[in-house]
Amino acid sequence: MYRVEDKFICGERELFYLQSKLECVLHTDHNQESPYGYTITSIYFDDYEDRHLVDTVNGNQIREKYRIRIYNGSYDVIKLEVKYKRDNRILKKSRRISREQMVKLLQGQSIDDGVPSFDNTITLFNIAIKKRKLIPVIIVEYDRKAFVFDAGNVRITLDRNLRFSQRIDLFMQGADFPRTCVQKPDSVLEVKYDEFLPGFIAGVLESGNMRRESYSKYRICRQEAMECQ
């Protein structure tokens, strides 16, 4: 099922103000062990034509992204994800994989997917690796504070401190890797929901200092990485 995803650019002062309001009316994500949120590290893949980057830069209405994601620098939970986007609606297919499987994918190898299916995230990755030579191209990292509301399956995230690295080799080894902080804007508020956004939440989010905008962390980090070369 495709969900609505709206993104708003805002400064740190505005983000802090919204966070204080959201903390009064919503619960934090149950996976959030720290009151300060958690860190997301994603390794994005693209093909030899950089099709996913080109689609994002051109603002194509239909596009997709392939990534591997870990949390708080730990390899205990590794998620393989394919994200589809149509206008401002998204569909994400996700599956947990082992560290050994992750390393194989980062090396450009396909992995065993049991029963192949187009609903199987591993199958989708294997096809893209074999047919389009999908490879890892960049590490994208940021800090997230997440809030949820069951009615409408609402999820609001506040993302800060966007940074990137091209040292995928160090990531595979489990070693620390250098990070480069992006230029502003590096803070974004994302609002995701199924069919409706409750009115009281919309009221909390009203602010004259936020602007709705297409914001791709992948695009921003890829472009800045190219400028550094």
pLDDT at 208 (0 to 100): 59
Answer yes or no: is pLDDT of 207 > 90.
no
CA distances from 203 to 124, 147, 164, 183 (A): 39, 15, 34, 30
Strand segments, DSSP code E, in 98-221 are 135-149, 154-165, 180-181, 188-193, 211-212
- pLDDT for 16-50, tens place per residue? 889 999 999 999 987 777 778 999 999 999 999 99
Q: What is the pTM of this model?
A: 0.94
pLDDT at 85 (0 to 100): 94
Output the furthest CA–CA distance in the chain (Å, rounded).
51
CA distances from 210 to 3, 28, 141 (A): 22, 22, 23
- pLDDT for 88-139, tens place per residue? 899 999 999 999 999 999 999 999 988 888 889 999 999 999 999 999 999 9
